[in-house]
Amino acid sequence: MPDTGSPRADAQSDFARARRRRALARLSARLRREPDDVAMILPYGEVVEALGRTGARPLGLQTIDLDSIVGTVDRTREFDRDFRPTTPRLRERWERIAAAQRRGETMPPIDVYRVGDLHFVRDGHHRVSVARALGLATIEAYVTEVITRIAPGDLRLGELALKSHERLFAERVPLPPEFRGRIELSDEWRYAALAEGVEAWGFRYMQERGEFRTREHVAEAWFRDEYEPVVELLREAGLLGRGTEAEAYMRVSALRYLLLRTHAWDDAIVERLRQALEQPGPMDEDTLVHQLRSELGTPRPRT
């Protein structure tokens, strides 16, 4: 960081430089046609609501990476995702803190919530902004860990709806963590459809055994006895297609009745399904079913 020997003058330059970097970042994002919410600071309340808060515990004073701080409790619009100032109104306080930092004064620790590997500022937004502008890598913070039902991942504001539906799926289908990580869908509405499919499977599963089973038991049985074997068969047959394995499972699950109860499982049908799954452009389950019915003609009864 440049140093003229005058903390006050250098702090003024620091603020001007941070504002220029903010402007250049916005221009760069526009030229790359990035979504507007990529650089937006994340609101803690909305994130935790989407992920499903289950508990919290204080961790005390820790040294944390500045790059891990991505959000705020106050939903302030005065800083972007990288804590660059978005308004000149911050100048006086920002420069005062920057000058103190340059004089070597000790800054009090900030206060943050930790969600997964991400941190959200409760107190100390200006200190974070100045520290990042001065090129520091870490900062002292009092940390409170917040436990959520699903992990945040690398979030941006527009993904909160997806995470919210993912959380609801986790509540309806409470899989163990080692299984849960394999269920990935790009469309938030598909989580509800998959949950309904698992619940229907669980109903039949309990009917066959003549006894009630908990959601946890049904979820694990579905994964081991239904999801995992089907995905493995799809992988061996080269039918995973585009997207994730969970999306491939849903595509074929919607066709299962058509293919197993109304047509023989022969090479022609397998090849037609492969072609449908691999063709370019979006293809939902309803479209696949309609297309197969049209091309294969009147279903012949299963014998």
Residue 121 has a pLDDT of: 93
Q: What dihedral angle (degrees, nearest 10) is formed by the CA atoms of 172, 174, 180, 186?
A: 10
Residue 302 has a pLDDT of: 41
Q: How far is CA 25 from the centre of its chain?
A: 23
Residue among 166, 122, 164, 146 nearest 54 (CA) = 146
List the chain domain ranges: 7-157, 173-296
CB 185 within 8 A of CB 246: yes
Q: Span 7-157: which CATH code? A: 3.90.1530.10
Residue 210 has a pLDDT of: 85
pLDDT digits (tens, 9 = 90+) for 228-281: 888 888 787 777 777 888 888 887 776 665 554 433 445 565 566 666 556 555
pLDDT digits (tens, 9 = 90+) for 51-76: 788 899 999 999 999 988 888 897 66
User: What span, in angstroms and rounded, lies between the C-alpha atoms of 69 and 57?
Assistant: 18
pLDDT digits (tens, 9 = 90+) for 176-231: 888 888 888 877 677 878 888 888 888 888 888 888 889 899 999 999 988 888 88
Rg (CA), the chain: 26
Residue 144 has a pLDDT of: 96
